[in-house]
């Protein structure tokens, strides 16, 4: 059987055409299908951070859950270190996979168990994932704390989560993820519950780990500013589709898709980081709808938008899903000729 161990010649993560539909039914509501992820494809390389950005209901958290194998996709492929993991382990993720792909949760208060001290939180994954070495597991746990900037480490090992600040807890959560020696860190809104003053510290820590450990990072966020700060590439999601995919700096400075522009405008207009593009949020319902799903909120809507859902097309070095652009057109802000 193919191994999930790192292979220098293989891309770290490749996601191809994943799709996930949920069926919801309320007591007095008819059944409805919710397409949470629709033919989503992307990759993350070693030492690369990719951000999935969108408002609530855009499908970004579903994609994270699919990658963590907490949900099974209806279709598509997930390859880790060159291995088709859904084919290799179709029913549930192996311990090896769960070691290679680790998660940092949004809530640093709920993700640690208040009953146990920090040493317990770190020793457990070290043993579970067979990452102990001859130097002693307590010393390894202390080293993990130093890696995430918690010193004196020996002192922090003896503390309990309730004795730490939110930022310190999130550092412990990151150290716990590192204990498994992962290749890919899925960080789900890792700063949104922290004070504004320490958000940058956590993003800087993730950037350092990416660089020094060649860690792949998938950042799930509603906040384009955080995405731009940490990520090399940004995928903007709207109702389960990737509507724009490009290098983070170019995409944020010169957004091509009207939805990306709306996300940026909502930050600028309100000063709030929660993107509220165009007002009402809607989830990805009704896969049978005709035309562009953003049409009812789009300031640039044209007749064709109500008739045909645009296919992804190459626009400069980006991929954009919008009728405003022809295949092969220049991206906004690019210098032609
Ligand atoms: Fe707006 Fe049309 Fe582009 Fe959709 S396809 S985002 S409605 S311009």
Centre of ligand 1 from the C-alpha of residue 13, in Å: 30
Centre of ligand 1 from the C-alpha of residue 180, in Å: 43
Q: Could you tell me which of 231, 117, 110, 118 has the C-alpha nearest to residue 179?
A: 118
Nearest ligand 1 atom to alpha carbon 323: 5
Centre of ligand 1 from the C-alpha of residue 321, in Å: 8
Pocket mutation for ligand 1, best pick of 302, 327, 329 (most atoms within 8 Å of C-beta): 302
Q: In what order do the strands lie in the sheet with 32-44?
A: 32-44, 13-24, 75-80, 83-84
Coil vs helix vs strand at 263: helix
Pocket mutation for ligand 1, best pick of 324, 327, 332 (most atoms within 8 Å of C-beta): 324
Centre of ligand 1 from the C-alpha of residue 5, in Å: 42
- Return the pLDDT at 180: 95
336 phi/psi in degrees, rounded to 5? -95, 160
Coil vs helix vs strand at 172: helix
CB 167 within 8 A of CB 195: yes
Q: Could you tell me which of 55, 77, 57, 58 has the C-alpha nearest to residue 66?
A: 77
Q: Write the CB contacts of 74 (distance below 8 Å, at least 6 apart in sequence).
A: 19, 20, 21
User: In order along the chain (337 residues), what is the average pLDDT of each group of 10 residues?
Assistant: 76 96 77 88 96 92 93 95 92 92 88 93 94 88 97 96 94 96 95 88 96 96 93 96 96 95 78 43 54 95 95 95 93 68
Nearest ligand 1 atom to alpha carbon 299: 1
Centre of ligand 1 from the C-alpha of residue 95, in Å: 43
Domain ranges of the chain: 13-254, 258-337
- Return the pLDDT at 324: 97
Which superfamily, per CATH, for 13-254?
Answer: P-loop containing nucleotide triphosphate hydrolases (3.40.50.300)
Q: Enumerate residues lining ligand 1, CB below 6 A.
A: 258, 292, 294-295, 298, 300-302, 305, 310, 322-324
Q: What is the model's pTM?
A: 0.90
């Amino acid at each position: 059987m193919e191994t999930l161990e790192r292979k220098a010649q293989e891309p770290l993560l490749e996601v191809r055409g994943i799709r996930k539909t949920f069926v919801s039914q309320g007591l007095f509501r008819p059944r409805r299908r919710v397409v949470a992820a629709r033919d989503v494809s992307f990759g993350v390389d070693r030492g690369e951070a990719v951000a999935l950005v969108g408002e609530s209901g855009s499908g970004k958290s579903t994609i994270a859950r699919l990658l963590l194998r907490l949900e099974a996709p209806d279709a598509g492929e997930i390859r880790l270190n060159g291995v088709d993991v859904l084919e290799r382990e179709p029913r549930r993720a192996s311990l090896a996979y769960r070691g290679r792909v680790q998660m940092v949760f949004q809530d640093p208060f709920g993700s640690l168990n208040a009953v146990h001290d920090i040493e317990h939180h770190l020793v457990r994954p070290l043993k579970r994932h067979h990452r102990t070495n001859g130097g002693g597991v307590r010393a390894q746990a202390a080293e993990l704390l130093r890696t995430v900037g918690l010193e004196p480490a020996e002192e922090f090992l003896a503390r309990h989560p309730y004795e730490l600040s939110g930022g310190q807890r999130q550092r412990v959560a990151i150290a716990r993820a590192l204990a498994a020696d992962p290749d890919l860190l899925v960080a789900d809104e890792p700063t949104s519950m922290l004070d504004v003053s320490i958000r940058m510290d956590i993003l800087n820590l993730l950037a350092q780990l990416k660089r020094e450990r060649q860690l792949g990072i998938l950042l799930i966020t509603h906040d384009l500013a955080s995405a731009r700060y940490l990520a090399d590439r940004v995928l903007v999601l709207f109702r389960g589709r990737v509507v724009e995919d490009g290098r983070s700096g170019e995409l944020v400075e010169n957004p091509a898709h009207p939805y990306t522009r709306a996300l940026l405008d909502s930050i600028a207009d309100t000063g709030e980081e929660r993107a509220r593009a165009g007002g009402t949020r809607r989830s990805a319902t009704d896969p049978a709808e005709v035309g562009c799903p953003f049409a009812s909120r789009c300031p640039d809507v044209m007749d064709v938008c109500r008739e045909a859902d645009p296919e992804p097309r190459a626009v400069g070095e980006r991929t954009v899903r919008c009728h405003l652009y022809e295949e092969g057109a220049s991206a906004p802000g690019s210098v032609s000729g």
